[in-house]
Structure 1
Amino acid sequence: MPTTYLKRGMADLKNYAGLIGALVLMCCLFSYLSENFFTLSTLSTLANDIPTLVVMAVGMTFILIVGGIDLSVGSVMALAASFLSMATVRWGWPVYLGSLLGLLVGALCGMITGMISVGWRIPSFIVSLGVLEMARGAAYQVTDSRTEYIGSAVDGISAPIFLGMSPAFLTAIAVTVIGQLVLTKTVLGRQWIGIGTNEEAVRLSGINPRPAKVLVFVLMGLLSGLGALFQVSRLEAADPNGGVGMELQVIAAVVIGGTSLMGGRGSVYATFIGVLIISVLEAGLAQIGVSEPMKRIVTGLVIVAAVVLDTYRRRGERA
């Protein structure tokens, strides 16, 4: 057992070192190719663009660790944003109550996915695909299929306040730290890892894994609602088409961070670095004039490379 923990610890250190090394190399490359990349303006823009992706990637890390997946997060984010805008614009609610409603809507969507998937033992891939469609349709219904402009009532959340960093960015950092502590320092976090590693062993040890698995999806929905708040504050509007394809970005960031698609292993800190890699890659490619189709090709290659590396890591751990 100590040998197993030592091997896993060494693997984690190698993963962190590899991710940080890749991030540094990318920054150096784009700084060389574009004189405007390594500037305070670019770094500030990056910092204030990623909070939505960061908090949703934290939730997806937990889901992948327990061996699940949630494809509905982009649509759930759009639905939460739609309810937030409806409450503040049409109903005249204060922003904090509208934001709370958005969070609750996101959590409810996560609960539906979790309870159906866990209760009926249906793959979360299929259930979340259905919730993706339902949430998107509900977002269109709530907003009458048009963008709701909220105005400056919420823009302070994404406005830089300290060294170019916004409250949204600082909140995303806090969520990352708390998420890592929950995963590594609490009984719940150990249960999630145990479920992803061998759910039957967890059950035979006298622990019911179902509540812990449902909770993961609820947290994912809640963090999607928080991501919706960040996005609305940045755009000053709620778009029912917002978040299309967001699930792919979220999963990509988590996989690049080294979280196993097979469950049982992952790190919230590594996911955060994965988000930075995705964001730096997209920003850098845009600054050097790479076309949108080519950006998608390069990003896809990076994701495939991350999955291949994960496969080799798993083989090394079993050896």
Structure 2
Amino acid sequence: MTPAPSAADARKPAFLTGEAGTYLGLIAVLVLMVLLFSSMSQYFFSMDTLVTIANDIPAVAVMAVGMTFVLIIAGIDLSVGSVMALAAAVAAHAMLNLNASAPVASLMALAAGLVCGLITGSVSVIWRLPTFIVSLGMLEAVRGLAYVVTDSRTQYVGDGIAWLSAPFVGAVSVSFFAAIALTVVAQWVLTRSVFGRHVVGIGTNEEAMRLAGIDPRPIRLTVFALMGLLAAVAGLMQAARLEAADPNAGSGIELQVIASVVIGGTSLMGGRGSVLATFLGVLITAVLEAGLAQLGVSDPSKRIITGLVIVAAVIIDTLRQRRADARH
């Protein structure tokens, strides 16, 4: 449930409170970052840079949609990078060794991601284990399976699924617009559907949901299954762009995904989040990375800066949560 506005909020213009205020704040940060990097590099504010960013973010954006739902139910999934690599590996194996068509291979890849999500969700739900521990174990197990499927080598698939990375409008890929469409649909599901209300309710107060006669277990399982499926979609997008399946793909990408979701304002404590705000968080992360790269910042320094941004986002979320609790 959305908390009642405080007296201080009541004195603010409507567009500065609630979700609208969050969106405006994120857009302001994004614009300021673009202006900053444009002033420091004459090449940043260009069509080439914007197209590169647009074509770089679909895989992260798609996984961030699923991670938004996972964090809202107060869970976490660290295995998404490994699942992404496994899905691409399964598609490549199907096309290269089983002579499967691209659509069949893609379905097999999606099924692999779905199974991984179901395993993570089932283990955490049935044995009531922390999702952090379960997904950490899945991270290693699924990565190892990706190595087995690819024989620890990059598998080149050619242009079998290259249509996903093909230009759709100008030089911007099909994947980018698919990620936007998914974001819009997921936002509608989260805010307008019964399932979305149940997801928020579980993250806010799971015991209250039980007392209301709603079993949280199938909803939790569905959320993790969705996460696995979307990680597989991201794997296909990356394989289409690289025309290859790399067993090392997605290593560490789970941190980028979680960072984007947290920067977008989704609470690590559960019960609050927005898919549209998450997409803005993805854009902020991508602009930060592209800007630092154009300025010639070394990879270790980029990691330090990104890490500090994540910590700052978590601190802001914690302070916001404490202020909300104080109002009650």
TM-score, normalisation: structure 1: 0.97
Match of 1:119 among 126, 132, 142: 126
> Which deviations, in whole Å up to 9, do the C-alpha atoms of 1:238-277 show, x marking residues without a partner?
0001110011111010011010000000000000000000
> C-alpha displacement at 1:156, in angstroms?
2.2
Paired residue for 1:290?
297
Return the alpha-carbon distance in structure 2 between the equivalents of residues 301 and 236 of structure 1.
34
> C-alpha displacement at 1:151, in angstroms?
1.1
> Which residue identity does 2:238 align to in structure 1?
Q
Paired residue for 1:209?
216
The answer as to whether partners of 2:3 and 2:324 remain within 8 angstroms in 1 is no
Deviant stretches of 4+, over 4 Å: 5-9
> Which residue identity does 1:243 align to in structure 2?
G
> C-alpha displacement at 1:5, in angstroms?
6.7
> C-alpha displacement at 1:91, in angstroms?
1.1
Cα pair distance change 1:110/1:5, threshold 3 Å: farther
Percent same amino acid at aligned positions? 59
Paired residue for 1:142?
149
Three-state SS of the structure 2 residue aligned to 1:161 is strand
Paired residue for 1:277?
284
Match of 1:171 among 156, 178, 185: 178
Three-state SS of the structure 2 residue aligned to 1:261 is coil
Return the alpha-carbon distance in structure 1 between the equivalents of residues 160 and 236 of structure 2.
12
Are 2:61 and 1:49 equivalent residues in the alignment?
A: no
Paired residue for 1:231?
238
Paired residue for 2:248?
241
The answer as to whether partners of 2:114 and 2:228 remain within 8 angstroms in 1 is yes
Query: Any residues of structure 2 matched to 1:30-109 within 5 Å, and which?
Result: 30-109=37-116
> C-alpha displacement at 1:224, in angstroms?
0.3
Paired residue for 2:196?
189
TM-score, normalisation: structure 2: 0.94
Paired residue for 2:319?
312
> Which deviations, in whole Å up to 9, do the C-alpha atoms of 1:51-83 show, x marking residues without a partner?
000000000000000010001000011111100
Paired residue for 1:128?
135
Return the alpha-carbon distance in structure 2 between the equivalents of residues 286 and 2 of structure 1.
40
Return the alpha-carbon distance in structure 2 between the equivalents of residues 287 and 207 of structure 1.
51
Are 2:219 and 1:219 equivalent residues in the alignment?
A: no
Return the alpha-carbon distance in structure 1 between the equivalents of residues 157 and 135 of structure 2.
29
Cα pair distance change 1:317/1:233, threshold 3 Å: same
> Which residue identity does 1:208 align to in structure 2?
D
- Structure 2 unmatched ranges of 5 or more: none
Paired residue for 1:21?
28
Return the alpha-carbon distance in structure 2 between the equivalents of residues 289 and 73 of structure 1.
29
Return the alpha-carbon distance in structure 2 between the equivalents of residues 238 and 187 of structure 1.
38
Three-state SS of the structure 2 residue aligned to 1:4 is coil
Cα pair distance change 1:152/1:2, threshold 3 Å: closer
> C-alpha displacement at 1:2, in angstroms?
8.2
Return the alpha-carbon distance in structure 1 between the equivalents of residues 175 and 114 of structure 2.
19
Return the alpha-carbon distance in structure 2 between the equivalents of residues 16 and 304 of structure 1.
20
Query: Any residues of structure 2 matched to 1:260-275 within 5 Å, and which?
Result: 260-275=267-282
Paired residue for 1:4?
4
Return the alpha-carbon distance in structure 2 between the equivalents of residues 176 and 300 of structure 1.
25
Aligned residue pairs total 319
> Which residue identity does 1:186 align to in structure 2?
S
> Which residue identity does 1:285 align to in structure 2?
L
